[in-house]
Structure 1
Amino acid sequence: YVFTPKGDIKELPGGATAVDFAYAVHTKVGNKCVAARIDGKLAALSTPLESGQTVKIITAPNATPNPAWLNFVVTGKARTNIRHFLKHQRREDAVELGERLLEKALHSYDIGMDELPIERVVSELAGNGYVELDDLLEDIGMGNRLAPLVARKLAGARDDDERQHEDDRRPLAIRGSEGLMVSYAKCCLPLPGDTIIGHLSAGRGIVVHRDTCKNLLAEMRNAPEKCIALSWDKQVEQEFTAALRIELINKRGVLATLANSVSELGSNIDTIDMAEKDPTLTTLNVSMTVRDRIHLARIIKKLRTLDSIVRIHRL
């Protein structure tokens, strides 16, 4: 039993978190929550609640449910509402991405979506069981249909038309705001400024890789038709994860110095994992948030000036 700031009592199951409480107050509160104050103290949304606590939910107008919340919520209302929102958001993101991919593919035939013969579009939708055009675009955005093949049919091109093997040479611009249908490969952690290529993964949309990634090179050999040229938009709208391997001399306070140096340059350390350690040297794998490749280069340059750093390179 926990209290709202006005003194109302909310009954929740054992193990319930601040997110469960937020959805118990109102669905809109749950969808917009970003943090909580438990008995006046700022707390993470994943914090389990205890009887007698007073909980105040902090919301933000542009906030949206995080898929990671499904890992710790316990109430059916919270779980149902999070899944409903993510399903709706996933469709919107997939339709938008699918439209961009199809427009790009149709460019090879010198035609736009608004110029397609309506009877050909209707035939394509009916032949594949789609109710509306957005269903087709969603399938393309999800990576379940290949835009060049759909474009060839909609443009009325012959099967032996050589353009089916040509991709429009203009790369698709990645803004960082594409939502759930564009993800960034954890194997190579691409950053704005890196040369990138996308891999269309069924059900996931586009997975962005650095062009030197070994996993991507394997995909390009096995299924080149699923690889797509990408570039970074001039205005990328989010921060990215970068990883460094750092060898340093074991000294008192060395980690605090390292963290302060990173923080001074506008970055936050997400995780620090100890890879190796001996009496004099420690090897760390450090992940942090950065804006782009230049931002990361500045951090590396700063860290190399520290006396305790022996070697540092990007993973």
Structure 2
Amino acid sequence: MPSIPPNNFFRAADLMNMVERYLSEEESRHVYEAFILADSAHSSVLRKSGEPYITHPLEVARILAEMRMDADTLSAALLHDVIEDTDHSEADIAAHSGPIVAHMVEGVTKLATEDFANKQEATIASFQKMMTAMTDDFRVVLIKLADRLHNLRTLGFKKPASQRRIAKETLAIYVPLARRMGMHHMRRNMQLLAFQHLYPWRSKILRQSLERYLDYNREIHKDILNTVLDAVLKQVPGSLTFIWRKNPFTIYERIKRHGKRFDEKREILEIRVLVGTVDDCYRTLGIIHNLYHPKLNGFYDFISTPKTDGFQALQTTVYTPSKQAVRFQIQTRTMYHVAQYGITAQWRYPDMHSRQKAKITQDSLDVWLDQVREFGLKADNAVEFYTDMKADFFLTEIYAFTPKGDVKEFPRGATMVDYAYGIHTELGQRCVGAKIDGEEVPLRTRIPNGATIEVLTDPQATPQPSWLNHAITGKARSHIRNWLRQQKVADRLTLGRKLFDQALHDHKSSLEVINPDEMATLLQTFKMGSIDELFLAIAQGEHCSRLLSKRLLGGVALGKTPMPPAADHEATPLLVKGADGLLIHFSNCCYPLPNDPILAHLNPDVGLEVHRDSCSVLDSTVEPESVLSVAWAAQEDTGQQFLAGILTQAYNVPGVIFHVAELFEQMKVNIEEVNTKGDSNIKQTEWIVHVNDLEHLREIIRLVEHVPSVIRVKRLLPKSTESDDNNYFHD
């Protein structure tokens, strides 16, 4: 027999009265049977509030029934805590309510905290699990949002620390999720409740300020409202006009962002106008612009170019004769319903117009779900997935236009790299720059609101590690990281092949002439499945190419492990060039340049680390037998630059550093870093700059020597050989 909640609680009978209004008899029975199982599973269990536990699943189902959700969704809502909190399994639910319901319940079931290092790790892993389930059935997230909304409504029964944790988690994860689903009514409710629990005093003060603002301007607002309504009704019968009550949390966020106080006298009045058709929207806009003076750049047309969550409206800011700023939002009733309830509007308002408008949201959601799937495939772990998703959540801040006039949305602070990937992945992979309203800008430039942006590409261009420093959207960062990982593997393969072939050349052999059977024996000895696995092991420093080559050629018996001594004869140098991939690292202890004599060693973290042959850091930190013979390959004219160090000694007079920097600017030399030391008479300055090669560096030094007050100029020596006193300069 079902447990009976106290009279003031929502009951199963109340739920059934709701669902029977729009579900068939068979579907309603399906929902009730799910309730019977949930009630049995949670029997005798109480919530923190003292309520029978079953009241929570009933309230979650109620929230979804108010959206007129289908029988499977309501059944899963009733059973959503059964796997997590009871002995019932996914198979039990599948046998009772079907596999679809069981899949949704499993999707919202959190992972056990004891399986992770801490609660945060478990939360992030559970988030990835839920989002992965959502890509198969988006109703999983609807259940989780309803679950979170009811938990917020009863949050006062938890300890203050738990209240703050859940409120923060709501604002970080569930509010953006609701926004992304176009469910702004739920998003607003969750924001208000989370704000009250996270910052109770701030929330109270802002609510009081809003009430004072409305009271203070009540008559002014009433006059504006009546003036607009009278004018609109004459030409657009059946229109509805009302003042929009602002969300205290969004005001709080604006105050934080701009560092300003809430000004009751300068706050902008917001009015909503609901009409019958799209033509009525534009007709109403004309009426309002005839009544009041429009603000420059204060108009947005989201009807012809909907937002990515399906939102449609005309928005305009105007000034009344008394200089009162008023922001109008004009929508059809269907647009308003879709804006409030997003993807669920097609169930809540099952008329044809709502279904057509909700299709915009559905199409947008499908694109986003594909992106979530891609994040899941490319992320190395749950933390990386969460980071990319979190970046992707906040994307309704900045608007930019493509050259074709399409509107695109990006988070505040997004750059040209984010824009390029936002348009198309291939465009991002090949971008080299951009034009903002016709003016060329570098990729690190932030997207300005309302600009028209054209991406500049090069077929030979590829993503660079530095892009991760200024890309902020999940899509851009995910694609860049994935490409770099793939490229890193490809580079390691190339490097390993080069090192092994070099070692074979030292013994008058090469990969081309090695007996396949002998190679197979070598691979079997080291338990490697392919020659590529061997190349990767060499590049990662796990095996010595010299030792492997000797074993392959019979110089060392297989199974023995002594490190071979350095070759008596001159080893064949490995050729490197500046643009030789991600696994050639030019050390910043000595800054090697093309035409410098160089050596190298394998660093597992960065690949082949190249040093000048006179580098004392290499001498003191790397075993002689691990040093590799390398030489510069012919440098192609790719614009590749290298870091170099210059040390200047100058009299301590005003402007001397400025004059050196000015010379660098005239020579188009980029400065990476500047450090100055010395006494009150003489100053020594280390300049780390970008140069083409050794000859370019020498030319720069010659010109710096002629700067007034500069005494001497030298190339910076490797760090560990520098003297700490001011007598570093010597011939």
TM-score, shorter chain, exceeding 0.5: yes
In the TM superposition, what whole-angstrom CA distance separates every residue of 1:162-219 from its partner, at most 9, and x where no partner exists?
Answer: 9932435232222223211111001110112322110111142210111222220112
Instruction: State yes or no: 1:164 paired with 2:564.
Output: yes
Of residues 624, 628, 632 in structure 2, which corresponds to 1:224?
A: 624
Contact 1:273 1:284 in 2 (8 A): yes
After the TM superposition, which residues 226-265 of structure 1 pair with which residues of structure 2 at under 5 Å, given as runs? 226-235=626-635, 238-249=640-651, 254=656, 257-259=659-661, 261-262=663-664
Contact 1:125 1:131 in 2 (8 A): yes
In the TM superposition, what whole-angstrom CA distance separates every residue of 1:11-63 from its partner, at most 9, and x where no partner exists?
Answer: 22333221111001111110111112233333332233243222221112221
Q: 1:215 — aligned with what? A: 617
What is the distance in 2 between the residues matched to 1:291 and 1:165? 36
Question: Match for 1:41: what amino acid?
Answer: E
In the TM superposition, what whole-angstrom CA distance separates every residue of 1:64-121 from its partner, at most 9, and x where no partner exists?
Answer: 1111112232222211211121122222222222222111111233322122221222
What is the distance in 1 between the residues matched to 2:528 and 2:478? 26
The structure-2 alpha-carbon separation of the partners of 1:269 and 1:17, relative to structure 1 and needing over 3 Å to count, comes to: closer
The structure-2 alpha-carbon separation of the partners of 1:253 and 1:25, relative to structure 1 and needing over 3 Å to count, comes to: same
Of residues 418, 432, 446 in structure 2, which corresponds to 1:48?
A: 446
What is the distance in 2 between the residues matched to 1:11 and 1:162? 61
The structure-2 alpha-carbon separation of the partners of 1:128 and 1:210, relative to structure 1 and needing over 3 Å to count, comes to: same
Q: 1:110 — aligned with what? A: 508
Contact 1:3 1:54 in 2 (8 A): yes
In the TM superposition, what whole-angstrom CA distance separates every residue of 1:260-284 from its partner, at most 9, and x where no partner exists?
Answer: 54466x6513235241377665443
The structure-2 alpha-carbon separation of the partners of 1:15 and 1:261, relative to structure 1 and needing over 3 Å to count, comes to: closer
- The structure with higher relative contact order (CA 8 Å, sep 6+) is 1
- Choose between structure 1 and 2: higher strand proportion: 1
What is the distance in 1 between the residues matched to 2:526 and 2:481? 27
What is the distance in 1 between the residues matched to 2:563 and 2:680? 62
The structure-2 alpha-carbon separation of the partners of 1:18 and 1:234, relative to structure 1 and needing over 3 Å to count, comes to: closer
Question: Match for 1:33: what amino acid?
Answer: C
Query: Alpha-carbon deviation of 1:148?
Result: 0.7
Q: 1:198 — aligned with what? A: 600
Instruction: State yes or no: 1:92 paired with 2:493.
Output: no
TM-score (norm 2): 0.40
After the TM superposition, which residues 125-164 of structure 1 pair with which residues of structure 2 at under 5 Å, given as runs? 125-159=523-557, 164=564
SS of match in other structure, 1:189: coil
What is the distance in 2 between the residues matched to 1:163 and 1:274? 42
Q: 2:220 — aligned with what? A: none
Question: Match for 1:210: what amino acid?
Answer: R
Contact 1:95 1:137 in 2 (8 A): yes
Q: 2:687 — aligned with what? A: 286
Contact 1:97 1:178 in 2 (8 A): no
Contact 1:274 1:282 in 2 (8 A): no
- Choose between structure 1 and 2: higher helix proportion: 2
Q: 1:308 — aligned with what? A: 709
Rg larger in 1 or in 2? 2
Contact 1:244 1:312 in 2 (8 A): yes
Contact 2:547 2:563 in 1 (8 A): no
Worse overlay, 269-278 or 128-137: 269-278
Worse overlay, 267-276 or 23-32: 267-276
Question: Match for 2:483: what amino acid?
Answer: F
After the TM superposition, which residues 70-89 of structure 1 pair with which residues of structure 2 at under 5 Å, given as runs? 70-89=468-487
What is the distance in 2 between the residues matched to 1:60 and 1:252? 45
Of residues 259, 263, 268 in structure 1, which corresponds to 2:669?
A: 268
Worse overlay, 271-280 or 210-219: 271-280
Contact 2:414 2:472 in 1 (8 A): yes
What is the distance in 2 between the residues matched to 1:216 and 1:294? 24
Worse overlay, 163-172 or 285-294: 163-172
Question: Match for 1:76: what amino acid?
Answer: G
Identity of aligned residues (%): 34
**Structure 1: runs of 5 or more not aligned:** none
SS of match in other structure, 1:180: coil
The count of residues paired between Structure 1 and Structure 2 equals: 312
Contact 2:566 2:625 in 1 (8 A): no
Contact 2:642 2:691 in 1 (8 A): yes
Of residues 185, 199, 210 in structure 1, which corresponds to 2:587?
A: 185
The structure-2 alpha-carbon separation of the partners of 1:295 and 1:44, relative to structure 1 and needing over 3 Å to count, comes to: closer
Aligned-residue CA RMSD in angstroms?
2.8
The structure-2 alpha-carbon separation of the partners of 1:57 and 1:129, relative to structure 1 and needing over 3 Å to count, comes to: farther
Query: Alpha-carbon deviation of 1:253?
Result: 5.9
Query: Alpha-carbon deviation of 1:140?
Result: 1.8
What is the distance in 2 between the residues matched to 1:232 and 1:30? 32
Q: 1:59 — aligned with what? A: 457
**Structure 2: runs of 5 or more not aligned:** 1-398, 717-731
What is the distance in 2 between the residues matched to 1:297 and 1:314? 8
Contact 1:254 1:308 in 2 (8 A): yes
The structure-2 alpha-carbon separation of the partners of 1:287 and 1:133, relative to structure 1 and needing over 3 Å to count, comes to: same
Question: Match for 1:13: what amino acid?
Answer: P
What is the distance in 2 between the residues matched to 1:207 and 1:233? 16
The structure-2 alpha-carbon separation of the partners of 1:14 and 1:267, relative to structure 1 and needing over 3 Å to count, comes to: closer
What is the distance in 2 between the residues matched to 1:150 and 1:224? 18
What is the distance in 2 between the residues matched to 1:305 and 1:68? 35
Q: 1:36 — aligned with what? A: 434
The structure-2 alpha-carbon separation of the partners of 1:250 and 1:61, relative to structure 1 and needing over 3 Å to count, comes to: farther
What is the distance in 1 between the residues matched to 2:608 and 2:583? 6
What is the distance in 2 between the residues matched to 1:144 and 1:13? 43
Query: Alpha-carbon deviation of 1:257?
Result: 4.3
Instruction: State yes or no: 1:20 paired with 2:418.
Output: yes
